[in-house]
Amino acid sequence: MISLAGRDILQAWGKFVFTGVGLGLLIGATLTMAGVYRGMVDDARVLLGSSGTDLWVVQRDTLGPYAEASSVYDDTWRAIASIAGVARAANVTYQTMQVRRGERDVRSMVVGVAPGGPGEPGQPGHLVAGRHLTRNHYEAVADVATGFRPGDRIRIRRNDHIVVGLTRRMVSSSGDPMIFVALKDAQQAQFLKDNDAIVRQRRRTAANPAFDLPGAPGVLDAVIASQSVNPYVNAVLVQLAPGYAAEDVAEPIRRWKRLQVYTRAQMEDILIGKLIATSARQIGLFLVILAIVSAAIVAFIIYTLTMAKIREIAVLKLIGTKNSTISWMILQQALGLGVIGIIVGKLAATLWAPVFPRNVLLETGDAGRALGAVLVICVLASIVAIRAALKVDPAEAVGG
């Protein structure tokens, strides 16, 4: 028995493939949408995993440092480093701000990391160019997504930094690329205001008569100096010593130091469960809509293809073709369309995913699930056409 479906497709394969490509682009859009969601989750995981951190110590009763603002004193790390099970503890600050290079502004997350070299908590996990920070001021390691290159001078608040290294896939949970600078520079950027504000504040302080005692000339200077001090960081990152469980080390810190501590699993929960949750629902809804649209389109296409040869189907039935053969012909065409669609969709998604400004992660599992879904949709969509084909009365082939 020859393949009726095959012959039919072969006769007008250009149209069929073209239709498959169109369906494929729709499927590609669906895959990309799923990839956007996966990319967001992956960004969050990379954010948590790349610094090699096991515990995040933040201000009590906050969800920080990513989901909520958190401030701890910058000498807290010493108390934490002395706790059993803590191998390394380091301060870190995070702030999203505009970073300028020449005329261009880039929105990025400036991360202040304690000096100490690669491998310390908070440092970028791997580089794609340049080197890690060696000086404790005015250097920066930037993510390639910023568009900076080694040697560029960038301006962060009041200071110019030189980009000495590039890293990749270091982005905040909202997709802003990260720039790593020395902790003290970041503290200054976060807490110290711009020059005009500082001068105004000095004037206000000097105008206060309590600070302007004639018999004690140094008081005013001391007060002004104390106002320019910035002793806060956003979190302390902790790496555990081998053999210690995260909760065992976290519990004492929570109780005795009156801080909030999150393990990696809890941070993932917070980031993915709270930060990304709304976006996930948006995307999920969109995926459902796309799936329905795809199903409708496939159904329409298959129905049209079937109706176009309804006379031939009547003749086939008349000359003795089994109903199952005719149904299988229609089903084969639907499945073939689906397979072409999936292949084209996966190809298209892979080709255009890098163009997106944010990370789009196309998982093979998603493609597999999409294949399954597409095949199911094709089967369901072909039911309408099959019913129509089977309803055809072979008597119609015989004239009235």
Partner 1 sequence: MKRPLVRPSTLAFAGVLALLLALFAWVVMRSGPLARVPVTTTIVGSVAVAPALYGIGIVESRYTYRIGPTQAGRLGSVLVDVGDTVRAGQLLGEMDPVDLDQRVDANRSALERARAGVTSAQAQEADMSARRQYAETQARRYEQLLQARAISAEATEARRHEQRLAEAGLLAARANLDGARREVERARADLDGALRQRANMRLVAPVDGLVAARSADPGTSLVAGQWVLEVIDPASLWINARFDQLRTGGLRGGLPARVTLRSRGDQALAARVVRVEPKADAITEELLARVVLDHVPQPLPSIGELAEVSVELPPLDPRPTVPNASVHRNDGALGVWVVEAGSIKFTPVRVGAADLDGRTQILDGLEGGESVVVYSHTMLNTRTRITVVDRVPGVSP
Partner 2 sequence: MADSHSPGIRIEALSKRYGKGDTAVDALRHVDMQVAPGEVVGLIGPSGSGKSTLLKCLGAVIEPSAGRMTLGDRVVYDDGWKIRDLRALRRDNIGFVFQAPYLISFLDATDNVALLPMLAGCPNAESRRRAREMLRALDVDHRAGAMPAQLSGGEQQRIAIARALVNRPPVILADEPTAPLDSERALAVIRILHEMAHQYQTAVIVVTHDEKIIPTFRRIYQIRDGNAHEQVGEGRPFR
Site residues (CB under 8 A) for partner 1? Answer: 9-10, 13, 17, 46, 49-50, 52, 75, 87, 115-119, 125-132, 134-138, 144, 149, 164-166, 168-169, 184, 214-215, 217, 231, 239-242, 340, 343-344, 346-347, 350, 362, 364
Return the structure tokens found at 54.
């096991």
Q: Are 39 and 366 in contact (CB under 8 A)?
A: no
Closest CA to 313 of 392, 395, 384: 392
Q: From 217-225, 284-292, 314-322, 371-379, give the range in contact with partner 2 by CB under 8 A.
A: 314-322
d(CA 293, CA 125): 42
Window 324-343: contact mask with partner 2 (x via CB under 8 A):
-x------------------
Within 10-39, which residues bind partner 2 (CB under 8 A)? 10-12
Residue 392's binding partner among partner 2, partner 1, none (Cβ under 5 to 8 angstroms by kind) is: none
Among 90, 316, 337, 373, contact with partner 2 (rule: CB under 8 A): 316
Compare residues 311 and 387 and give the one whose CB is closer to partner 2: 311
Smallest gap from Cβ 350 to partner 1, in A, equals 5
Among 1, 84, 210, 355, contact with partner 2 (rule: CB under 8 A): 1
The neighbour count for residue 112, using CB atoms within 10 Å, is: 24
Q: Are 88 and 96 in contact (CB under 8 A)?
A: no
In eight-state DSSP terms, residue 353 is G
Compare residues 67 and 397 and give the one whose CB is closer to partner 2: 397
Residue 118's binding partner among partner 1, partner 2, none (Cβ under 5 to 8 angstroms by kind) is: partner 1
Alpha-carbon 52 to chain mean position: 19
Interaction of residue 216 with partner 2, rule CB under 8 A: no
Compare residues 16 and 180 and give the one whose CB is closer to partner 2: 16
Would you call 59 helix, strand, or coil by DSSP? coil
Q: From 146-154, 294-302, 320-328, 342-350, give the range in contact with partner 2 by CB under 8 A.
A: 320-328
d(CA 203, CA 217): 16
Q: From 7-15, 23-31, 33-41, 346-354, give the range in contact with partner 2 by CB under 8 A.
A: 7-15
Residue 321's binding partner among partner 1, partner 2, none (Cβ under 5 to 8 angstroms by kind) is: partner 2
Strand 235-240 to 104-113 pairing: unpaired
Interaction of residue 67 with partner 2, rule CB under 8 A: no
Interaction of residue 390 with partner 2, rule CB under 8 A: no
Q: Are 365 and 48 in contact (CB under 8 A)?
A: no
Interaction of residue 320 with partner 2, rule CB under 8 A: yes
Among 104, 200, 281, 311, contact with partner 2 (rule: CB under 8 A): 311
Closest CA to 283 of 38, 42, 45, 34: 34
Within 290-309, which residues bind partner 2 (CB under 8 A)? 309
Return the structure tokens found at 43.
């960004």
Residues 6+ apart with CB under 8 A from 305: 8, 333, 385
Tell me the DSSP string of 254-293.
HHHS--EEEEHHHHHIIIIIIITHHHHHHHHHHHHHHHHH
Residue 322's binding partner among partner 2, partner 1, none (Cβ under 5 to 8 angstroms by kind) is: partner 2
Compare residues 33 and 386 and give the one whose CB is closer to partner 1: 33
Return the structure tokens found at 207.
């105008």
Q: Are 257 and 8 in contact (CB under 8 A)?
A: no
Task: Find tokens 């089977």 and name the residue.
Answer: 390
Strand 178-182 to 104-113 pairing: parallel
Compare residues 138 and 286 and give the one whose CB is closer to partner 1: 138
d(CA 85, CA 81): 9
Interaction of residue 395 with partner 2, rule CB under 8 A: yes
Compare residues 229 and 398 and give the one whose CB is closer to partner 1: 229
Compare residues 116 and 394 and give the one whose CB is closer to partner 1: 116
Closest CA to 156 of 108, 112, 189: 189
Residues that bind partner 2 (CB under 8 A): 1-2, 4, 7-8, 10-12, 309, 311-312, 315-322, 325, 393-395, 397-400
